[in-house]
Structure 1
Amino acid sequence: MGAPRFIPRDFTSSPHLFGRAEVEWPPVEGRERVMERECARLQHAFSLAVRDGLREKQTSLRRYARDLGLDYGRLGRIMRGEIPMKLEDVMLASRHFPFRLQLQRHQPNP
């Protein structure tokens, strides 16, 4: 597997807090960078929701990965924002945890 196109946590002012706490999202320039930052924001929200679900179920990320047949190392990198997630990751989580996915049309802030 090659290097990711972008590293989601690099878009935050506090990369070490990606998926763990609220972070700031400094502005970026260029259409592609704006899109990548918005993807990173979605992944951050996903990681927060999964962590909340793990706490509620009193389980670990390792067990969650095992139960769903996911690679624990890859899942950890997703949760930390080291690699971009895939839609399959979102769908698996939405079936396992009590959060609801909702798509809305909006204009991202540049």
Structure 2
Amino acid sequence: MPIMTKTLADRLNEVVDRDPRSANRISQDADLGRNFIRSIVVERKDPSIGKLETLLKQFEEKDKFYILTGHEMTEDDLKFLRLLSGLSPEARRNAAQLFRSLLATEGA
């Protein structure tokens, strides 16, 4: 299956539209040639993993996450994930259990 699905290309286009820079400028800033984003969004070409990684470095973390997963993240969400990633596996399991308990009591 190709790396770039229509959905991912559409999400990339949304992020580019929100960016104050033009698609050509972002492509050039990533040293990928001025029409790189156009080739993905308009021509639906599949970039290599390396080039996609290079392009994503041009965006904020929340935008990278959205492009790759389709899930919107706030800065608070990202801070929370960074906190969790610093925990040991056992502490993460305990934290997950705590959050499941909180959700259960919130929904009751």
TM norm structure 2: 0.45
Of Structure 1 and Structure 2, the greater helix share is in 2
Of the two structures, which has the highest relative contact order with CA contacts closer than 8 Å and spacing of 6 or more?
1
